[in-house]
Amino acid sequence: MMIAQATETPISTLLQQQRSFFSTGQTKDLNFRLAQLQRLKQAIIDRQDAILQAVKSDLGRPAFEGYFEIGTLGEINLALKQLKSWVKPRRVPTSIEQFPASAWIQPEPLGVVLIIGPWNYPFQLMISPLVGAIAAGNCAILKPSEHAPQTSTVITALIRSTFDPSYVAVVEGDAAVSQALLAEKFDHIFFTGGTAIGKVVMEAAAKHLTPVTLELGGKSPCIVDADINLEQTAKRIAWGKFINAGQTCIAPDYLLVDREIKSPLLNQIKQAVQEFYGENPATSPDYGRIINQRHLSRLTTFLNNGTCILGGQVDETSRYIAPTILDDVSWQDPIMQEEIFGPILPVLTYDSLDEAIVRINERPKPLALYFFSRDSQKQQQILQSTSSGGVCLNDTIMQVGVWGLPFGGVGDSGMGSYHGKASFDTFSHQKSILKRSTWFDLGWRYAPYKPERLNQIKRIVTG
């Protein structure tokens, strides 16, 4: 495939170019898809240093956490390995009244899709859905977040040097550019971001009856039972909450802890934070920064809630907020009314697991739910009595790294899912096909409908 010279093509023209290319049928070819996935993989490998530098510049992220962005290579590898099986038609049995016949489900690409990425993991969450779009045989237009400008620049350079824009293209810009894109007719829109903008995307898509995948967020609870490994639990909570300075859509949003172990758990979390980032996290090379001043100001207002027992320091110049724990928080406090998306951990308590479940179910369904307990019966109680996009037992965040697990929300935390085959399915239409033979016809369905025909249809319908 020839790579065209990158130009700032009008959106409507770019969209028409992609529709024209899709109509050639080239993207449907399995070998073509595999080749493009391999090109994408190699492009990421070749630009690792640039990607790491970009996310460090945008988010102050250390190289270790920067590699989470490059971790999307794992998803590409899975697609390369399994795509041949994913594209195969799936046979479906037919009933006797269809005899002789065969039926199958055949996945086919949707066409031209729009992928709008967020700023918190600006490379991975842009490229990961692209893997699914390519694997399913689509053309794609990408819109990186303008709030992570260095990463947006790297994505643009990578895509434009790897793919012809009539196949995969990037459009950079602010909210006005997103609005212009959303005004166009796409065959699918994949959006990762906040709930408020998700509603805007869905409203725009509805005007064209365009299907959407919305990867949103919410207040993901972290419930802690008394029956735990205290030190291990504290480390896993602290790590999941404070990586990327808390700017992770599935970060534990708040702690809901059994009152009996609240004090020792918080002491262990404090100790874990010190082990991770030292006495002064502001000087740690392993601790990130808030994306911009607007989000810093929003987060700073939350520091007035409850009692700060760890952290609380803010440096506006460097966009720094220390890893912070807030005790004595109530369910009515402002910090409990919206997703925090920052390094502030409010703590609430419960006296019985039933009480904790009631509290969680009173609120919108979260993207993730975490439960720490060695009691298998309590684990089952949580799984059966709550609803969330996903659940992780006795750890945080790590569920997102299992590419075979569909990742997505439910209710206010989103709709649709992706990762692995779920990505392929998201960007595919499952076309149902029935093939009848002409060598024989039972003739049971044709008029005139005599009494014996009526009895026959009754037997077919009622079994």
Q: Domain limits of the chain?
A: 11-216+416-430, 221-404
**Entry pTM:** 0.94
pLDDT, position 68: 92
Reading the block at residue 384, the tokens are 């059966």
Residues 443, 444, 446, 448, Cα dihedral to 10°: 120
Q: DSSP states of 109-150 as a string?
A: E-SEEEEE--SSSTTHHHHHHHHHHHHTT-EEEEE--TTSHH
Q: Which residues pair with 191 in a beta bridge?
A: 116, 214
Confirm if 218 and 312 have CB atoms less than 8 A apart.
no
CA–CA dist 340, 345 (Å, integer): 9
Kindly report each contact of residues 405-411 with a partner whose C-beta sits within 8 Å and lies 24 or more positions away, as own/partner: 407/215, 408/213, 408/215, 409/214, 409/215, 409/216, 409/217, 409/218, 409/365, 409/366, 409/367, 410/365, 411/364, 411/365, 411/387
Strand segments (E) across 394-463:
407-408, 414-415, 417-418, 428-436
**Catalytic center residues:** 215, 249
Beta-carbon contacts of 381 under 8 Å, excluding residues fewer than 6 positions away, are: 353, 357
Q: Which CATH superfamily is domain 11-216+416-430 in?
A: Aldehyde Dehydrogenase; Chain A, domain 1 (3.40.605.10)
pLDDT of residue 351: 97
Residue-level pLDDT at 456? 82
Residue 360 and residue 197: Cα distance in Å, rounded?
Answer: 24
Residue 247, exposed/middle/buried by CB under 10 A (0-12, 13-18, 19+)? buried
Q: What is the predicted pLDDT for the residue at 457?
A: 84
The matching CATH number, chosen from 3.90.550.10, 1.10.10.10, 3.40.309.10, 3.40.50.300, for 221-404 is 3.40.309.10
Instruction: Render each residue's pLDDT in the chain as its tens digit; 463 residues.
Output: 434 334 478 999 999 999 999 999 999 999 999 999 999 999 999 999 999 999 999 999 999 999 999 999 999 999 999 999 999 999 999 988 888 999 999 999 999 999 999 999 999 999 999 999 999 999 999 999 999 999 999 999 999 999 999 999 999 999 999 999 999 999 999 999 999 999 999 999 999 999 999 999 999 999 999 999 999 999 999 999 999 999 999 999 999 999 999 999 999 999 999 999 999 999 999 999 999 999 999 999 999 999 999 999 999 999 999 999 999 999 999 999 999 999 999 999 999 999 999 999 999 999 999 999 999 999 999 999 999 999 999 999 999 999 999 999 999 999 999 999 999 999 999 999 999 998 888 888 888 888 888 888 888 888 6
